Amino acid sequence: MQSALYVALSAQVALERRLNTVAQNVANLNTGGYRAEEVKFETILSEAGAGQVAFSSSGASFISRKAGPVNKTDNPLDVAIQGDAWLAMNTPAGTVYTRDGRMQMTEAGDLQTIGGHPVLDMGGAPIALDPQAGMPVIGRDGMISQGGNQVGALGLFRIDPASRLTRYENSGVIPNMPAAPVQDFTVTSVQQGYSEGANVNPVMEMTRMIMISRTFENAASTISETESSLMSAIRALGPST
């Protein structure tokens, strides 16, 4: 058995998965609060004869937590989070966390995300505003005021760095460990009238796409050459007639 053939095939499987993540990231360049999908590759050692051959695994995907660019919108219902924290929203899948701070107020005064999910406070309860009291003022600590009166507070939550994140829709994440409410706002805060964009670097993603395509072609060439040498060996060592 020629190990080069299997090494090249494993490389193509890994590259295909990486290409899929790049395509998803590029498609969400303009999605507010989107977290880029990355792939962590590892080496799987497999014995081949007396030696060992390193094969590429298909990789384990993970969601990048790097902050995205902050854009000024002047919309009083938009907030950008400064520091390591997330907003919480109630969804059919339970509590989901997001960095997309674009919100809307319904006619009844319910504060919701752009996707229509209720925004939660620190205690996990939906936030209700007074639709007749005008647009709210949101402080750096998430406190919401209308007409000079405090009417609620945005819940900011910190997700443990060891948590594995599962994507919900485009900008939401679900951690496999409980998130903790933020109580210290010296480093973490919200900025009203701003929103956070996707943490995707378009130039880097396009560069990766080109590199992946070229590497895939090289792997395909290796497979073709390996098959050709195998067939030549079969013809040379086969029984003569």
pLDDT tens digit sequence for 90-140: 999 999 999 999 999 999 999 999 999 999 999 999 999 999 998 999 999
222 pLDDT tier (thresholds 50, 70, 90): low
Q: Quick check: 212 and 18 in contact, CB under 8 A?
A: yes
The yes-or-no verdict on residue 49 having pLDDT over 70 is no
DSSP assignment of 164-208: PEEEETTTEEEESS--EE---TTT-EEEETEEE-----HHHHHHH
pTM of the model: 0.79
What is the model's pLDDT at position 15? 74
pLDDT tens digit sequence for 141-190: 999 999 889 999 999 999 999 999 999 998 999 999 999 999 999 999 99
Domains of the chain: which residue ranges?
3-64+201-237, 70-196
Mean pLDDT within 46-72: 69
Cα atoms found within 13 Å of the Cα of residue 185, Cβ hemisphere only: 13
212 pLDDT tier (thresholds 50, 70, 90): confident
215 pLDDT tier (thresholds 50, 70, 90): confident
The yes-or-no verdict on residue 209 having pLDDT over 50 is yes
Q: Which of 72, 102, 111, 70 is nearest to 172 (CA)?
A: 102
What is the model's pLDDT at position 1? 47
Mean pLDDT of the chain: 85
What is the model's pLDDT at position 226? 67
Mean pLDDT within 56-61: 61
